[in-house]
Structure 1
Amino acid sequence: MEAEERLAYIKRLEELRDSKVLVYFSYTPLDDTILVPLYKQLEEIGHTQRIDLILHSYGGSVDTPYKVVMLIREFCEEFAVIVPFVAKSAASMLVLGADEVVMGPISELGPIDPLVKHPVYKDVLIPVQAVWHCLDYLKRSISNCADLEVAALLVTPLLNMLDPLLIGDYEKTIKASRQYAETLLSRYMLKDLPEQVQKVTQALTEGYFSHGYPIGRREAKDLGLNVTEAQGELWEIIWKLYLGYEQLFQEKESKHLY
């Protein structure tokens, strides 16, 4: 798909949604490097009634989604996120700051479980909840073992590998993800349903054991999120745009191989 065709689909999407459309499509972790390019695009658009963000991301930094939401909302009265395929982890956090999330039959959100750097392998990112589950495993191993000396032999090598300062930092990240989720839900997605905020926050930050758990549009709606089910021409355009950007990324990756 050529650039002109993608732009034509975006224009048609703007007509159908009566909005200005932005696109964030990435396979690298979501972080603050998005902010300056985003600000430049928003300045070009100027203040408008509604902004739709087409979002494809597997997550990233715990702080960035909140910054993105606050920045976009400086330029619009209504904000929606369109998820063609995947908006996971920290990207799902961004969804909570929208007034609605537009999803199709293959779209999925995920548990809010931000990524942090591995304490040893610095180029490896791990879900922060993995550390919490490690500590929970150690706690259960000790409490379930009748012989404390045996328990000590089992868990001491693992405990010696854990940096207390790092554990504290990871704990802060978990608490921050809950705080951001609660704040965004209460201000935006669930502003008219304050009694649902705690329930949804807990479900998204603690209710799923798999980092990659797929929360489809029906489950997202059951959780209490304001889901618009894309159908007909609307979904057809959204999906074609996804395929177009996916093709663009594959072409770029192919060029890097030679």
Structure 2
Amino acid sequence: MNEEDRVNLLERLEELRNSKVLVYFSYSPLDDSILVPLYKQLKKIGPTPKIDLILHSYGGTVDTPYKVVLLIREFCQEFSVIVPFAAKSAASMLVLGADEVIMGPLSELGPIDPLVKHPVYKDILVPVQAVWHCFDYLQRSITTSGDPEVVSFLATPMLNKLDPWLIGDYEKTIKASRQYAEILMSNYMFKDSPDRIESVARALTEGYFSHGYPIGHQEAKQLGLNVTLARDELWEVIWSLYLAYEEIFKNERN
């Protein structure tokens, strides 16, 4: 698909949704590098009643989604997120700051499980829950084992490689993800259902053991999110745009 066709699809989506449409499509971790380009795009659009964000992301850092939501809402009264395929982890947190999420048959949200630096391999990002479950496993193994040699075998190699400050940092990241989720829900997605905020925040930050667990449109609606199921032409336009941006990334990788 060429650029003209892609622009035509974006314009048709804006007509169907009566909105201005932004696109964030990336396979790199979502982080603060998005903020300046996003601000430039918002300045071009100017204040407008409604903004839709097409979002494709597998997650990123814990603070960025909150910043993105606040920035977009400086320019609009109504904010919706369109998820053609995947908005996982930190990207799911961003969804909680919208008034509405538009999903289709292939759309997935996921547990809120931000990425942190690997405790040993600093250039690698890993889900914070994975690191924390490792600590939990180690603690349980030490507690249940009566053999000091087993305890030493399990604990010594890991503890020798860990900066003690990291353990506290990981715990803060987990607590921060829940705090951000609760603030975003109380201000936006769940502003009319405050009694559900605590249980949904707990479910999204603690209730799923797989980082990649797929929360489709039906489960998202059961959780209480304001889900609009895209159908007919609306879905066809959204899906065509997803394929167009996926093609761009595929060509860049080749």
**2:87 corresponds to:** 87
After superposition, the C-alpha distances for 1:52-100 in whole angstroms (9 at most, x for unaligned) are 0000011111111000000000000000000000001111110000001
Q: Deviation of residue 152 (structure 1)? A: 3.6
Q: Which runs of 5+ in 1 are unaligned?
A: none
TM-score normalised by the chain length of structure 1: 0.96
Aligned pairs for 1:49-198 (under 5 A) are 49-198=49-198
Instruction: Give the CA deviation at 1:105.
Output: 0.3
CA RMSD of aligned residues (A): 1.1
Q: Distance in 2 between matches of 1:77 and 1:157?
A: 53
SS across alignment from 1:59: coil
Stretches of structure 2 lacking an aligned partner (at least 5 in a row) = none
Query: Does the 8 A contact of 1:131 with 1:167 survive in 2?
Result: no
**In structure 1, the residue corresponding to 2:156 is in which secondary structure?**
helix
Give CA-to-partner distance per residue, 1:135-161, whole Å, 9 cap, x none.
110121122223345334432332332
Helix, strand or coil at the partner of 1:208: coil
| Separation in structure 2 between the aligned mates of residue 252 and residue 31 of structure 1, nearest angstrom | 21
Aligned to 1:207: 207
SS of equivalent to 1:101: strand
Q: Which runs of 4+ in 1 moved over 3 A?
A: 146-150
**SS state at 1:121 partner:** coil
- Distance, in Å, in 2 between the alignment partners of 1:37 and 1:120 is 32
- Equivalent-residue separation in structure 2 for 1:120 and 1:53 (angstroms): 36
Deviations 1:2-61 (A, max 9, x none): 111111111111111110000000111111111111111111111111100000011111
Output the CA distance in 1 between the equivalents of 2:30 and 2:187: 22
1:220 paired to 2:220? yes
For residues 18 and 84 of structure 1, the distance between their equivalents in structure 2, rounded to whole angstroms, comes to 18
Structure-1 residue corresponding to 2:251? 251
**2: distance between equivalents of 1:137 and 1:118?**
17
Question: CA–CA distance in 2 between the matches of 1:89 and 1:25?
Answer: 15
- Identify the residue that residue 237 of structure 1 maps to in structure 2: 237
Letter in 1 for 2:208: Y
Contact 1:200 1:223 in 2 (8 A): yes
Among the aligned pairs, what percent are the same residue? 74
Matched, 1:39 2:49: no
